[in-house]
Structure formats: structure tokens, C-alpha cells
Amino acid sequence: MALTIRLSRTGSKKRPFYRVVVLERASRRDGRPLEFLGHFNPMVHPGLLELDTEKYEKWLKLGAKPSDTVRSLLAKKSA
């Protein structure tokens, strides 16, 4: 079972809001996640990323791989 950490879109039209979730790689974007790790709000300047780092590290140890988007958001947050 290949796992990925990626964004799941919520919010209304033209007002996006994303949840950071753990999903099986083959599931659809807004499918049922295994766990919620946080959220990302791109509508504020700069974009607001809230992430539970303990859960994130746990899933990385279990073999989940972050998507390119999640990886770049984390790099911007830590910089």
C-alpha cells in the first residue's frame, strides 16, 4: 500500500482551502483520508500552513511520501 501526503481541496468556488491529508496513492484527490495532518489557506498573504508535525513525522516513518506541493509548502514554511 503506497501512501502519500497531499492536499485535499475544500472551500467554495474561488475561495480555496486545503487540508493536508494522508491517502493511498491511487485514491482520488478528495477521497476518504486515513488521517488529517493540518490545513493550508492560500487566501491570506502569505499563505497560512498549519501542520501537526508529530503526525507528519509518524507517517513519514511509516513510508508515506509527500507530494511535490506539500514538500514545497514545507520548505517555504521552514525558510
Q: 3-78: which CATH topology?
A: S16 Ribosomal Protein; Chain: A; (3.30.1320)
CA atoms of 26 and 59, how far apart (whole Å):
17
pTM of the model: 0.90
Per-residue pLDDT of the chain (79 residues; tens, 9 = 90+): 799 999 999 999 999 999 999 999 988 878 899 999 999 999 998 889 999 999 999 999 999 999 999 999 999 988 7
CA distance 68 to 6: 8
Residue spans of the domains in the chain: they are: 3-78
Number of residues that make up the chain: 79
